[in-house]
Amino acid sequence: MTEAPLRLTELSHGGGCGCKIAPAVLSEMLAHMPAARPFADLLVGTETADDAAVWRLNDQQALIATTDFFMPIVDDPFDFGRIAATNALSDVYAMGGTPIMALAIVGMPINTLPVATIGRILEGGASICAEAGIPVAGGHSIDSPEPIYGLVALGLAHPDVIKRNRDARDGDVLILGKPLGVGILGSAMKKGLLDADGYAQMIATTTRLNKVGPTLAALPGVHALTDVTGFGLLGHLLELCRGAGLGATIQAGALPVMPAAIPFARQGIGPGAIGRNLASCGDAVQFDTAVDEWQRSLTADAQTSGGLLVACAADSVEQVLACFRAGGFDAAAVVGRMHAGPAQVRVQA
C-alpha cells in the first residue's frame, strides 16, 4: 500500500503570516526592552513598528534591511518558497526601496522531509528573487522540528523617498493594492474545501511582487506606505494611525476580496489569527452595527504577502490607482480615509 504524500501544512502548527505573535502579546514582550541609544543615521528603527529598518549610507543612498520567515501556508514546496520570498521582499518595497540582495533563512525537519522537497522550497524562493532581479547570496540553515523558510532582504532607496508608516496626513485617502482573504483561503485548503480555482487565486496574489512600491514612493502626493500581512488590515492600519496620531475610517463594502474567499468567510472559516488580531485591536476598532460578521473577519484576516496600503492626498488618488493598474494590481481600490482624532479605526458598512 502506497503511503499518502507528506503534506507540508501537517508539519506545522500555523502557516504563513498567521504564525505571527499577536500584536498585544508582542507589545508586552517588547515593553521591557532597553531603549536604544540614538544613531544619527538610523532613519527608521523600531519606534513605530515600521516594515523595515533604514540606515542612511550617504546623501544619496539609504540601506533598507528586513527579515521575514514562517511555516508553510500551502503544501506545494515550490509555491511555499515563492510565497515566503515574495512576502519577505515586500517590506523593502513598502519602504519605497528596490531590493538588491537576499539571504535565505532555512529551518527544516531533516529526518522528516525529503531533501528533494527542501530543495524545491529553496528553488521557489530563488525563482522569486530572480524575478526581482536579485541574488540569494547566502543564508543560514538549522535542523528544526517544523519547516521554516524566509529571507533577509536588503534594498536601497534615496533617503528623501523613504516612506514611513507614521507620515500619513489628515484627509489622506487609503488605497489597498491587493485583495484580502489569503488566511481564509489557507484555512479552507487545510480543511480540503479549496478547489483549483480558489488555490489559483491565492497563489496569484501571494506570489505577485509589490514592485510598484518605489514608483508610488516617488509620487509627491503619497505620504505613507505599509504592507498588510499577519496583523490583518486593521492591525497594520492601526500602526499607521498610531504613528501619525490620526484616526481612520474604512468602508467594509469597498474592500477588495478574492472571490473564492467570500463564501468561506460567510461560513466562518478562517485562521485563529483573526480572533487574536481582533482581540489585540480592542477598543481601538469600532464596527458599525451594519457591518456583517464575515466582513469583520476579513478586516482582521491574517494576510500572507498582502498588498501595499497607501495613504495619499485626495488629488493623487487617480495617479496612485493608475500606478497599481500599470503594475498588474487590478484589484486595487480606495478603502477609506485618515482624519483628525484619536488613533482608532472605524469600520463602516
Residues annotated as part of the active site:
17
Q: 228: which 3 cell numbers?
A: 498588510
Residue 313, C-beta contacts closer than 8 angstroms, at least 6 positions apart = 169, 171, 172, 173, 221, 223
Q: Which of 281, 230, 210, 182 is nearest to 68 (CA)?
A: 230
Q: Measure the CA–CA gap between 174 and 224, rounded to whole angstroms.
A: 10
- Distance in Å from the first CA to the final CA of the chain: 54
Q: Measure the CA–CA gap between 131 and 193, rounded to whole angstroms.
A: 31
Q: Measure the CA–CA gap between 144 and 12, rounded to whole angstroms.
A: 11
CB atoms within 10 A of CB 307: 29
CA 151 vs CA 54, 72, 213, 222, 302: distances in Å:
17, 14, 19, 28, 19
* Spatial strand order in the sheet of 148-157: 42-44, 53-56, 62-70, 148-157, 98-108, 136-143
- Phi-psi region for residue 198, left (φ > 0), alpha (ψ -120 to 50) or beta? alpha
Q: Judge contact between 153 and 88, C-beta under 8 A.
A: yes
H or E element that contains 161: none
Helices (H), 191-272: 196-206, 213-217, 232-244, 261-266
Q: Judge contact between 63 and 96, C-beta under 8 A.
A: no
Q: Which of 179, 149, 151 is nearest to 328 (CA)?
A: 179
